[in-house]
Amino acid sequence: MKNLQKRILTSLVIFPLSIFFIIKGGNYIVSFLYAVLILGNFEVFSAFKRKTTIIFLDVILVISLLSLLYLRNDTASSYVLLIWIVTLTIFSDIGGYIFGKVFKWKKLTSISPNKTLSGAIGSFFFSFMSVFAIGGIVNLIEGLNFNFFLKPKYFLLAIVFSLAAQIGDISISYFKRLEKIKDTGKILPGHGGIFDRIDGLIFVVIVAYFAYSLNLFP
């Protein structure tokens, strides 16, 4: 429970900080992404020894940051999408952690022993809730009608994005398991390193970019 409190408190700091840089845009978001790139690369080269792992993680990180920058600087709708996927990823992570700890159902995969079926369901459920949350956030920031998000396609996208977040989480866990390490760093209480925090987000951002390119949003 103590670790859960740390995760929630860390998310409460990261979330408004991320939203601040997204809203400010321009040099703010570029500087923020450079910082993530530098810290992410430091962790990758410090925690991992296999060349193929380092190359894969570095390429995925760069692609995700470029996708994020594009989504921020294209149009107002892509800007809203970016806020949503950050919100959804945090919700998905917390939902998976809470449901996994409370219900403790069957293990989901041997790659990450802490991942359970109940945790996966919790991630999907909380991702659904993010649709309502982003409706309130956008209404507060942009003055859009709350009902703008209450359409079936956004709940379907929530499932796709949550699945991408969980796949990203399991993928990074796989690489950490190969190196026999628990976390990529210790900079974030309750989460570990930067990569431990953004493992799901970097995959979601890439999927969101394609969803936006295919006009699935708004």
SS3 state of residue 107: strand
Cα distances (Å, whole numbers) of residue 149 to 80, 155, 200: 11, 9, 22
Report d(CA 55, CA 85) in Å as an integer.
Answer: 25
Q: What is d(CA 202, CA 218) in angstroms, rounded to the nearest whole number? A: 21
The dihedral sign for the CA sequence 96, 102, 104, 110? positive
Euclidean distance between the first and the last CA atom of the chain, given in angstroms as a whole number: 38
Q: State residue 192 phi and psi, 5-degree precision.
A: 105, -120
Q: Residue 112's CB: how many other CB atoms inside 10 A? A: 18
pLDDT score at 144: 57
Alpha-carbon span 191 to 171, nearest angstrom:
16
Answer positive or negative: Cα dihedral of 188, 2, 89, 204: positive
pLDDT by position in tens, the chain (length 218)? 556 666 667 667 777 888 888 888 889 999 999 999 998 899 889 889 999 999 999 999 999 999 999 999 877 778 888 989 998 998 998 899 889 888 877 887 777 777 889 999 999 999 999 998 887 777 776 665 556 677 889 999 999 999 999 999 899 889 988 888 887 877 765 556 788 788 889 999 999 999 999 988 87
Question: What pLDDT sits at residue 190?
Answer: 55
Residue 156 neighbours by CB distance under 10 Å: 11
Place of tokens 């919100």: 87
Q: Note the pLDDT of residue 5.
A: 67
Show the DSSP H helices in the chain as ranges: 2-24, 26-47, 51-73, 76-103, 117-142, 152-179, 194-213
Contact between 184 and 174 under an 8 Å Cβ cutoff? The reply is: no
Helix (H) or strand (E) holding 1: none
**Domain-by-domain residue ranges, the chain?**
2-213
Answer for the pair 86, 201: CB distance below 8 angstroms, yes or no.
yes
Determine the pLDDT at residue 26.
86
